[in-house]
Each structure stands twice: as C-alpha cells, then as structure tokens.
A = this chain, B = another copy of it.
Amino acid sequence: MSSLTLAHLGPQGTYSQLAARAYSAVFLRSRGLAAKYRDCPSIAQTLLSAALGEADLAIVPVENSTEGGIAVTLDTLWEQGNLQIQQELVLPILHALYSEAPRLSDITQVYSHPQALGQCQKWLSQNLPQATAVAVNSTTEALGLIRGNSGAAAIASPQAGLWSPVPLLARNINDYPDNCTRFWVVGAEPSLRGARTALAFSALRNVPGALVKPLQVLAEREINLSRIESRPTKRSLGEYLFFMDLEISQDNPLFQEALAALKPYTDALKLFGSYDVLSLQNQDLSQWAAPEKG
C-alpha cells in the first residue's frame, strides 16, 4: 500500500492531527493510500514541510468561527507562493479542561494554544476568575506541561485525553456552542477544480477605490465572496494584502475572464487553488482520534 506523508502541528493529540486523520480516513483510504504523519513544531513549519517536499500535504487551520483568521497560515501561503489548496475540512472544536486539581478553585494557571484560550475566554473569566492564561505552542504541549502540577489546567480537545493521564474536568467550555475551525489541506500539486477558489493580491494605500474596483469586477459577474481578510504587507503601515475566497472554480471560463479583468486593479496577485469543502461539524471526532492500524 503506497502512502502519503501528512504534516500537521504536533505533537500527538492536537486538533490539526485530528484533521489530518479525518482527511486520511475520508479521502486517502478510498483511494487505496495509507497516511504517514509528520509532527511539526509550528504552523509555519508545517507549511514549509510541504513546500520543501518533506511532506506530500500539510493540514493547517485557516479560520476559527470565534477567533477569526489564522494570520500565520495566510502570511506563509503568500510568502511561499507555490502551495495549492487541495481540500477544506470544517471540524467542530469543542474544548475540554484537563487538570490534576481537586477543584476548579485550586487552579491558578491555564495553559493552551492562544486560539483555544481565546475561544474559551468567557468561560474562563466566569469559572476560573483567579487563573491566569499562559499561551503555548499547542494544546498538546499544554497537556504535557501541567502533569504533576495540581495548580494548573490545560485546554485541549476531548480526544486529547487519549494521549495524557491528566483527568478531564469539564467539557464543552468553548464560549460559542457552534465553535468550529476551517482547515486547509495544501500541497504542491496544481488544484484547478473545486467549488471555491482562494486568491490574494496587494493593494496600495490611498488609491481611492483600491478595493472597490476588484470587488466590482466580481460583483458584475455575480461571483460571490465567501470571505475577505486583510493582512499587512509588513513593509509599511497602511499597505495591505487582501485574501479572498470566491465561490467559483478556476476552471470556469467566467473565473478566467474575471481574473483578466482584475489584473489592472491589483498589484501582485497569487492563486492558491480551487477546492471543495467537507463539513464534519456534526461528526464525532473520536472516530479518528485513536492511532491508525497499519
């Protein structure tokens, strides 16, 4: 059985790993492919791993429904310029609190990834008002750090308990019940067909209508935007990149026509591929949490 290497933010037990396992179960097995997993220490390095060919695909979060865009994912895709989105997965993110503390009131520090801390901030201020938040690289790292420390807690997925002996104290502590995250599966292969197309372009400051012209090009052709996000170019305050998800495939002639019409109104423009979206929002992620059998 031939296999593909999937890079994801590690170590074992992160939401990104769950997304990678779900991708393998749904998309690779049916094609007779096995998955190998490559743990990466950061989201940027996960993407680099695919850009450098160390992995076939990278699975990275791109947007959370509560906290918004994952800036490092967009920034790294733009810098690399050669990665294409093959598929989008939407995962439900239902955080759990882990701790060796006998009672919630004994907890003085809560460790987690900054996104997870952000997604639970109302719950934390109501239930652990005495605790300070400490941001670390991943939910799994947080679980590791609190072992043997009965004054500390970690926020991680309910499935992360499989990889840790620390007791689960509370479930569904995310502030919004429909909390979910979009993950992109990206690789070096061209990706020309799919319901959505991601692109980004730079626009210069103080050009009246710098953004309205490109949007008019799309609106005149009834091409809908499912998302727009601005990121700084980092060179100078007030210069932006605009990332857009369009509800059209690159292989649609209407898209090619729109792209030609966009060119005069944009500076650098990069295409990140066309992709379909699979929502797993009503799925139990536990089915993909346990290690796969060879």
Contact = CB atoms under 8 A, between A and B. Distances in A.
Interface of A: 63-69, 71, 90, 114, 118, 132-137, 175-176, 178, 180, 182, 205-206, 208-212, 215-216, 218-219, 222, 224-232, 234-238, 240
A210 to B, nearest CB: 8
Contact of A231 (B68, B182, B205, B232): B68
A236 B65 contact: yes
A218 B226 contact: no
Contact of A232 (B65, B215, B216): B65
Contact of A215 (B118, B211, B222, B236): B211
A11 to B, nearest CB: 13
Tallying the copies of this chain within the complex gives: 2
Contact of A219 (B90, B175, B209, B228): B209
A239 to B, nearest CB: 8
B134 A136 contact: yes
B232 A238 contact: no
Given A63-B237, A134-B135, 13 more contacts: A65-B237, A69-B230, A71-B118, A114-B114, A114-B135, A134-B134, A206-B224, A208-B219, A208-B224, A210-B225, A212-B212, A228-B230, A229-B229
Nearest to A179: B234
Contacts of A176: 234-235
Contacts of A118: 71
Nearest to A224: B208
B178 A235 contact: yes
A135 B132 contact: no
A216 B212 contact: yes
What 9 pairs between A and B have smallest CB-CB spacing? A135-B135, A212-B219, A65-B237, A212-B215, A209-B219, A66-B234, A208-B224, A68-B232, A176-B234
Contact of A230 (B218, B219, B227): B227
